[in-house]
């Protein structure tokens, strides 16, 4: 990967993902974008992986494992106090001192963030479908990571600073812009929950949980709390997990779903990690399944093809429905990467 390209990724990460969400990573990413030595290290990431996320997570991971390091005090996730910025010279020298291990981490690990706040749009969509269909449902989360968004029905929801649903220590918060707060229907039907991932995060595996936490931006204390609480929920044990990474394996799990159930498949921030040929094979697989049964597919991505289809620069929430072998596709809403705001269409 050339340095100009890597530099551009850090600038774009700062401007379109961190701005307004993480002041620390905003400043840090801009500083890294101007440092060729650090860009060279970051460029070691595997093809398809979001470079700034994995590079910053690698440093965060090492600090979470070594909280006594001087740099750790500037990470609110570890030092437990907010700071105006992470001192760049200290950050830089930590990276150079730990260059070999950082390269090893970003070469071997993948970005597997599990962003619970994405439930902010899952609950309105799923509760409506399940209520309208009025029968038990099977929900399959492709690229489930630790499976935390599958428990969307167990959390507490606040929209526009108003509590509107549930009672839980896992708090989902979002701002509804340009539309009204969506109707939320009580879920009274049983749901069979299935999570598929190439690498299922096991809540009992300390190292995997440190990596999951390392992927959270260090000044987002609420996300750390939500993650810890969500990992403790008993319902997590009821999810059926499948380790799979190929389209035929996904298809086998999908075709096995109870035909009497409403079937909802979803993927949030996953398909962008598929090479183009795999994405095409995935779409073809959905078409095949649609010829054998009705189902819904909710896709939440910021891939260029979706952005172009809907003429937007925001993350697209799109619902595909197969009914009687016919496909229909609707743009439901636009959002940001973490579901902090949602603009329903």
For binding to ligand SAM (CB under 6 A), which residues are involved?
110-115, 118, 143, 145, 149, 197-199, 245, 268-270, 273-274
Q: Measure the CA–CA gap between 103 and 122, rounded to whole angstroms.
A: 35
Least CB distance from residue 197 to ligand SAM, whole Å? 4
Residue 95 vs 239, nearer CB to ligand SAM: 239
**Residue 115: φ, ψ to 5°:** -95, 100
Task: Give just the sign of the alpha carbon dihedral 57, 58, 64, 68.
Answer: negative
Residue 104 vs 245, nearer CB to ligand SAM: 245
The token duo for 237 is 């044990």
Residue 103 vs 269, nearer CB to ligand SAM: 269
Least CB distance from residue 10 to ligand SAM, whole Å? 18
Residue 31 vs 149, nearer CB to ligand SAM: 149
Angle between helices 51-65 and 3-12 (to 10 degrees): 80
Per the CB < 8 A criterion, the answer to whether 118 and 149 are in contact is yes
Contacts 24+ apart (CB under 8 A), 221-227: 221/76, 221/77, 222/171, 222/173, 223/115, 223/116, 223/117, 223/338, 224/77, 225/169, 225/171, 226/116, 226/117, 226/170, 226/171, 226/172, 227/114, 227/116, 227/148
Least CB distance from residue 29 to ligand SAM, whole Å? 18
Least CB distance from residue 323 to ligand SAM, whole Å? 25
Residue 199 vs 329, nearer CB to ligand SAM: 199
Residue 141 vs 219, nearer CB to ligand SAM: 141
The token duo for 145 is 């990571």
């Amino acid at each position: 990967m050339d340095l100009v390209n890597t530099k551009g990724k850090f600038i774009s990460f700062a401007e379109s993902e961190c701005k307004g969400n993480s002041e620390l990573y905003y400043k840090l990413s801009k500083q890294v974008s101007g440092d060729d030595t650090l860009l060279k290290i970051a460029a070691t990431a595997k093809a398809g992986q979001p470079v700034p996320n994995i590079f910053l997570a690698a440093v965060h991971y090492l600090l979470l494992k070594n909280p006594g390091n001087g740099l750790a005090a500037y990470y609110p996730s570890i030092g437990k106090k907010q700071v105006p910025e992470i001192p760049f010279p200290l950050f830089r020298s930590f990276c150079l001192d730990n260059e070999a291990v950082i390269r090893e981490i970003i070469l071997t690990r993948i970005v597997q963030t599990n962003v619970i706040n994405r439930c902010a749009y899952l609950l309105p969509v799923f509760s409506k479908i399940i209520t309208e269909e009025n029968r038990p449902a099977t929900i399959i989360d492709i690229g489930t990571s630790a499976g935390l968004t599958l428990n969307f029905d167990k959390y507490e929801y606040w929209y526009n600073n108003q509590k509107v649903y549930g009672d839980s220590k896992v708090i989902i918060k979002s701002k509804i812009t340009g539309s009204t707060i969506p109707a939320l229907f009580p879920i009274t039907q049983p749901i069979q929950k299935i999570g598929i991932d190439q690498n299922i995060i096991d809540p009992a595996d300390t190292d995997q949980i440190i990596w999951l936490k390392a992927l959270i931006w260090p000044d987002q204390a609420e996300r750390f709390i939500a993650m810890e609480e969500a990992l403790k929920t008993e319902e997590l044990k009821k999810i059926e997990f499948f380790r799979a990474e190929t389209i035929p394996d996904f298809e086998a799990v999908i075709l096995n779903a109870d035909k009497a159930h409403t079937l909802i498949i979803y993927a949030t921030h996953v398909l962008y990690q598929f090479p183009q040929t795999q994405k095409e094979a995935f779409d073809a697989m959905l078409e095949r399944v649609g010829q054998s049964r009705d189902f819904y597919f909710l896709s939440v991505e910021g891939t260029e093809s979706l952005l172009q289809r809907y003429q937007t620069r925001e993350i697209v929430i799109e619902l595909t429905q197969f009914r009687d072998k016919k496909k229909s596709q609707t743009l439901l809403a636009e959002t940001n990467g973490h579901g902090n705001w949602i603009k329903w269409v």
